[in-house]
Amino acid sequence: MPRTSGSRKKKEIAKKIKKWLAEEGFQASKVQDTNTDFHFQIQNPNMSIIIDKRKIDCVTLVTYMGFPEIDQRMLSYLSKEGKKFFWNLEYALNQLNVMYNIHPSIEKVERIDITKIIYFDGLTKHTFFSSLFDIQRGMHCVNIQYQWLSEQGFQ
């Protein structure tokens, strides 16, 4: 695909997504990012919508939850019982069909990213918002598991 038609397609997709967001009452603000062709940020849920320069035909939806430094330390010293936090979280996120990544590692958790990719050939308003809500439910799972772990005293 020539660069110009790919760029044109990405512009059309970005315009369509911004229109859908407005129709559903989401405020999308543009983010300056040299690694992307288009990068929008929305609130409630807090999420980035990205069309990456290095990818030809997809839009990526991503959100994350960062942990305070004191909780990062607590997460790194979890007992075997406390490690259920990660098992339960992994199980829940896999059920939602979202991708996730623990940064930088499970031994030193600073944040958890939740991502979903939609390829242009399958992009409809329905698939876009289904994916957005899957990610929102995924973040809710992270919050629930984190709350459970906090109530257990990070054991």
Q: Is the pLDDT of residue 155 over 70?
A: no
The pLDDT tens digits for 57-87 are: 999 999 999 999 998 888 888 877 778 888 8
CATH number at residue 51: 3.30.1460.10
Domain range enclosing 135: 3-151
Write out the DSSP string of the chain.
Answer: --HHHHHHHHHHHHHHHHHHHHHTT--EEE---TTEEEEEEETTTTEEEEEETT-SSEEEEEEEEE--HHHHHHHHT--TTTTHHHHHHHHHHHHTT-EEEEEEETTEEEEEEEEEEEEGGG--HHHHHHHHHHHHHHHHHHHHHHHHHHHTT--
Number of domains in the chain: 1
The whole model's pTM is what?
0.88
